Amino acid sequence: MATARAPRSLLDRGAPWRVCQVTGYQVFTPVQRLIVFNAVAAVLSLALGGVLALFIALTRWEAVSLLPPELYYRFTSTHGVVMLVFWIVFFEIAALLFGGTVLINAKLKGVRFAWTYTALMAVGAIVTTATTLSGHANNMFTAYPPLVNHPMFYVGIILFAVGALCGSCHFVYQVWSARREGVIAGPLPLVVYGLLTAAIIAIWTLLHGAVAYVPALFQALGWLELDPAVYRTLFWGFGHGAQQINLAAMVACWYALAALTTGARPVNEGLSRFAFVLYLVGINMGSMHHLLVDPGIGMHARIINTSYFMYAALLGSLIHAFSIPAALETAQRARGFTEGLFGWLRKAPWREPGFAALMVSFIGFGVIGGVSGVLMGTMQLNMLIHNTLFVVGHFHSTVVLGTTVAFMGLAYYVVPLVMKRDLAFLGLARWQPYVFGAGLLTLIGGLMLAGKLGASRRAWDASFSLAPLQVESLSSPWLSFANAVIGLGGVLAVIGGAMFVLIMVATVFFGRANERPAVGTLGVLAGREGPKSDVEIPEFDHHAKTFQAPGTTTLVFVFLVWFVVMFAWASINLARVGWGVG
């Protein structure tokens, strides 16, 4: 790769470069500020969303009942859009900028273009947040017609989405250029492959978003009237696809964190890539999870779409569910932690923030998020769950316990390395994933219990106690208990989130400058300059007659049993309704 190249090339040596003292990566320095800007915007969104979450949780807790109805709906609308869109997407753009340059040792082509779309996203985020926070968009970010939000809400979202679309295309272009110019000689690193999957899904999804939000803006301006069912179909083409972006980006983070914290290498590059391809197959599907008990859709359309075409996307996740712990197990066994089935797991670096985040995210997403998602996505079972608080419990276990925790884990490495600063409050960081995870588990438990008891989502008062026709079953003490659990869990989760925000802000603005920031066991990155691990992690033996990862094989089958039991339990619950429905 030493051949002379044109100045516009990805390897342009005239460009400002530095070599990372820890990882040995070639870092194109102008991209650092871009990554940090996007990461800071993400963290600020998270901080605002967290403050709102505190108010919402304390309103759900009946004994506190903090906010009046109007403010509750306003804050819930803002919390939704700030967290699900701004925090997640800003971070994803930071990750794409990182993956599209640092991880492939390339410069960024079009730095000014990147600043333009970053600015577009920032302006869009500010416009939408200001509109919602000032009470002009209380109809949630779904804003199902005929309800409409203020036009500026849509203007902000569209600006933001155009920015994010440019960012995703930019990443695809970077990878394509890197391949064309031979910067990447062989296959892509698996993490970049996962990010590429996320970027492709993002492009497709954001185009869906344009088809939904541009007409919605026209409706808000009074130019046209939208059909409610058509809008819902278009909106969820965007809304559900967006969750597939998060899924692919989160799994890419898992592979990265496994490598950073234990030196794990993928057990089967081909199979893991196939699993990402399965996500792409499910790209356009799953949107009907949200429409399973809607009028206007045929049976086959519902079943084939909700199953991601015979659960192609689920199969992808089940492959990752094996290959990530198998990679950890192989690496740990190579280090000599071979005792029994689970010695490798007991001796894992649980005090390493990235590993803690990986485990909280992986287990939380898999055991709760994925399983509850499949239950809800089963057409008939959806009748018991649609629009109850169980749904809210589900997406807090996927997007928050899963994606957000994985992103937090990655931030503990990327931010110090890019900033060349020590991670502030390392001691706090060791606890943060567990505190946040415990808060979320409590919150999700409360939400799911309340949903099972019939609490409707997005209602200021879960027991409908002010309704003219009282609903006796909703004034049960169990529902009050569930609401209190939601309140407590919410407060604890906000504390965990605040710990992360504090660590990040302190690192970015006040962290001690250090060319070789101490970021845990990051040095185990094999095959790079800088400190290597003293152990070569062997390849997974694919020809062995015995099980190479017996602990993982045991765990995944325990997981499968849990999955089957939960499915059976939900089916029994539906049968026990007793009433004929059809």
Residues between 384 and 403 with contacts to another protein, criterion CB under 8 A: 384-388
Gap between the Cα atoms of 429 and 351, Å rounded? 9
Site string for another protein, 237-256 (x = CB under 8 A): ------------------xx
Where helices occur in 420-476 by DSSP H, the ranges are 426-452
Gap between the Cα atoms of 408 and 410, Å rounded? 5
Where helices occur in 61-135 by DSSP H, the ranges are 69-81, 88-99, 111-133
Q: Which is nearer to another protein, 131 or 378 (CB)?
A: 378
- Using CB under 8 A as the binding rule, the residues of this chain from 511 to 530 that contact another protein are 525-528
Gap between the Cα atoms of 107 and 507, Å rounded? 25
Q: Which is nearer to another protein, 7 or 527 (CB)?
A: 527
Q: How many residues in the chain?
A: 582
Q: Which is nearer to another protein, 63 or 466 (CB)?
A: 466
By CB under 8 A, residue 535 contacts another protein: no
By CB under 8 A, residue 380 contacts another protein: yes
Q: Which is nearer to another protein, 71 or 428 (CB)?
A: 71
Give the DSSP H or E segment for 313. helix 308-334
Rounded to 5°, angle at Cα 268 from 267 and 273: 130
Site string for another protein, 456-495 (x = CB under 8 A): xxxxxx--x-xxxxxxxxx---------------------
Is 384 within 8 Å of 573 (Cβ atoms)?
yes
Nearest CA to 49 among 10, 77, 20, 12? 77
Name the segment binding another protein (CB under 8 A); options: 41-49, 215-223, 286-294, 495-503. Answer: 286-294
Q: Which is nearer to another protein, 385 or 401 (CB)?
A: 385
Q: Which is nearer to another protein, 416 or 496 (CB)?
A: 416
Q: Which is nearer to another protein, 83 or 385 (CB)?
A: 385
Rounded to 5°, angle at Cα 319 from 314 and 325: 125
CB of 370: closest distance to another protein in angstroms?
12
By CB under 8 A, residue 266 contacts another protein: yes
Q: Which of 269, 431, 481, 502 binds another protein (CB under 8 A)?
A: 269
β-sheet bridge partners, residue 27: 18
Q: Which of 374, 418, 447, 449 binds another protein (CB under 8 A)?
A: 374
- Using CB under 8 A as the binding rule, the residues of this chain from 331 to 350 that contact another protein are none
Q: Cis bond leading into 146, ω under 30°?
A: yes
Site string for another protein, 106-135 (x = CB under 8 A): ------------------------------
- Burial class from Cβ neighbours inside 10 Å (0-12, 13-18, 19+) for residue 89 reads buried
CB of 192: closest distance to another protein in angstroms?
8
Name the segment binding another protein (CB under 8 A); options: 68-76, 159-167, 281-289, 356-364. Answer: 68-76
Name the segment binding another protein (CB under 8 A); options: 35-43, 67-75, 338-346, 508-516. Answer: 67-75
Structure tokens of 452?
A: 């099972």
The number of beta carbons lying within 10 Å of the beta carbon of residue 476 is 13
Q: Which is nearer to another protein, 77 or 118 (CB)?
A: 77
- Using CB under 8 A as the binding rule, the residues of this chain from 170 to 229 that contact another protein are 184-191, 227-229
Nearest CA to 67 among 55, 78, 79? 55
CB of 492: closest distance to another protein in angstroms?
26
The footprint of another protein on this chain (CB under 8 A) covers a number of residues equal to 125
Gap between the Cα atoms of 92 and 38, Å rounded? 9
Q: Which of 32, 149, 177, 378 binds another protein (CB under 8 A)?
A: 378
Is 256 within 8 Å of 410 (Cβ atoms)?
yes
Q: Which is nearer to another protein, 512 or 528 (CB)?
A: 528
Backbone phi and psi for residue 386, each to the nearest 5 degrees, phi listed first: -45, 125
Those residues whose C-beta lies under 8 Å from the C-beta of residue 237, and which sit 6 or more positions away, are 205, 208, 211, 212, 284, 287
By CB under 8 A, residue 285 contacts another protein: no
CB of 95: closest distance to another protein in angstroms?
13
By CB under 8 A, residue 22 contacts another protein: no
Q: Which residue is associated with the tokens 């900033």?
A: 419
Is 447 within 8 Å of 485 (Cβ atoms)?
no
- Using CB under 8 A as the binding rule, the residues of this chain from 432 to 461 that contact another protein are 452-454, 456-461
Pairing of strands 17-19, 26-28: antiparallel
- Using CB under 8 A as the binding rule, the residues of this chain from 560 to 579 that contact another protein are 560, 563-564, 567, 574-575, 577-579
- Using CB under 8 A as the binding rule, the residues of this chain from 133 to 162 that contact another protein are 138-140, 142, 144-147
Gap between the Cα atoms of 355 and 262, Å rounded? 8
CB of 569: closest distance to another protein in angstroms?
14
Q: Which is nearer to another protein, 514 or 548 (CB)?
A: 548
Those residues whose C-beta lies under 8 Å from the C-beta of residue 427, and which sit 6 or more positions away, are none
Letter for the amino acid at 36?
V
Q: Which is nearer to another protein, 306 or 432 (CB)?
A: 306
Q: Which is nearer to another protein, 119 or 467 (CB)?
A: 467
Q: Which of 65, 514, 521, 548 binds another protein (CB under 8 A)?
A: 548
Q: Which is nearer to another protein, 385 or 444 (CB)?
A: 385
Gap between the Cα atoms of 365 and 249, Å rounded? 13
Gap between the Cα atoms of 193 and 386, Å rounded? 34
